[in-house]
Every structure is written in structure tokens, then in C-alpha cells.
Amino acid sequence: MYLVMMGKVELCTTVADANGKFKVAVPKQKHKNQLTVTATDVAGNGSQETIFDVLKKNEK
């Protein structure tokens, strides 16, 4: 399972397909918000956080 958070607020969860690919639909965010994604396998082992910065449209 993949978990997307903004601070302590859970935004969404999803599971990977048989090939390990996944998609999430995150609600619209404000510029400069930071989102974190973690993964947990079926045994309950969690990954380290991956942090994403929300950018303005067309910003790189």
C-alpha cells in the first residue's frame, strides 16, 4: 500500500498492480506544500518517506 500525506493529514492511499506500478489522485494542492509518500508491504514493513514539493503549473 502507498500512502500520501501532507503533514499529518492523509490525502490518499493506493496499491500497486502486478508490475509494481501505481497511480494516485491527490486533491488540488497549494504551491509550496510538501507531500510525503510511503510504502508498506503485506508483511507490514514500511519504507522511508519520499518528499515531493508542489510546484506551480509549468514550474520545474
Report the distance separating Cα 39 and Cα 28, nearest Å.
22
Kindly report whether the global pTM for this prediction surpasses the value 0.85. no
pLDDT per residue rounded down to tens, the chain (60 residues)? 999 999 999 999 999 999 989 899 898 888 889 999 999 998 999 999 999 999 887 776
β partners of residue 27: none
Strand order in the sheet with 9-14: 9-14, 2-6, 34-39, 50-53
What's the confidence (pLDDT) of residue 60? 66
Bin 58: left if φ > 0, else alpha if -120 < ψ < 50, else beta.
left
Report the distance separating Cα 54 and Cα 46, nearest Å.
24
Cell of 36: 510525503
